Amino acid sequence: MILILGGTGEARKLAEELVTREVRVVSSLAGRVARPRLPIGEVRLGGFGGVDGLAAWLRENDVKAVVDATHPFAERIGANAAEAAGRTGTPLLRLARPGWQPGPGDVWHWADDLADAARQLPGLGERVFLTTGRQGLPAFAHLHDLWFLIRCVDPPGPPLPRHHELILARGPYETDAERALLSRVDVLVTKDSGGTLTSAKLTAARELGKPVLVVRRPPRPAAETAGTVAEAVEWVLNR
């Protein structure tokens, strides 16, 4: 059995490719999204109970290899996967799509984390398009002088910025629609998620000359890494 720690488009594609090749796959989803897109094959929802729980699950289910295909900002599960795989001697691959890179015409500013992004924002504009996910919104809640257009998949809980408008939507997004939203703000804030599912906002920001505040990816434990689903498929088939 191959365990895929999923929740991303790459994880769903990997599961599909492996099931097509008659590899038994279990995709694990954290359950943080109310209506997640489910991959092909067996699916497990919810956490494992930390490193100890994940290590026990790997042993009990005779897992041959783990592919960590979680979101680039899913720090905790990535760290847990690395430690649990090390404890149990289970081969681990990190499937990590490349991050975004600025191109000609882009006006990008980089932040080390959400707190750093909040510190930089007042100098970049008064109206903000915030696309960093609902769990990070408390980092911006104290910025009472700014107005936020917030987009999330699921409704966020408090605390929220005092002045805001909330949009509930799930990608992929079209450039024309992103351009219309960005025309209402001064600056875009996003995480360096990479991929094409939500990259239309970057194209729209470039076309409109809007600055983008990009939150850098957090460090991950050292692990063998693949940048594409095809590379991950080859790695699994060679286990």
pLDDT in tens, 209-219: 999 999 999 99
Residues 180 and 230 in one domain: no
With contact defined as beta carbons under 8 Å apart, do 24 and 108 qualify? no
Residues 93 and 16 in one domain: yes
With respect to residue 125, please indicate whether it lies within any of the assigned structural domains. yes
Residues 112 and 211 in one domain: yes
The one-letter code for the residue type at 151 is R
Distance CA 53, CA 7 (A): 19
Residue 200 sits in a domain whose CATH number is 3.40.50.1220
Q: Hey, what are 91's tokens? A: 């081969």
With respect to residue 36, please indicate whether it lies within any of the assigned structural domains. yes
Pairing of strands 25-29, 212-215: unpaired
Which domain, by its residues, includes 86?
A: 2-98+219-237
With respect to residue 103, please indicate whether it lies within any of the assigned structural domains. no
Residues 174 and 93 in one domain: no
With contact defined as beta carbons under 8 Å apart, do 110 and 212 qualify? no
Helix 9-20 vs helix 229-237: crossing angle, to nearest 10: 40
What are phi and psi for residue 58, nearest 5 degrees?
Answer: -60, -45
pLDDT in tens, 98-132: 999 999 999 999 999 999 999 999 999 999 999 99
Predicted TM-score (pTM) above 0.85: yes
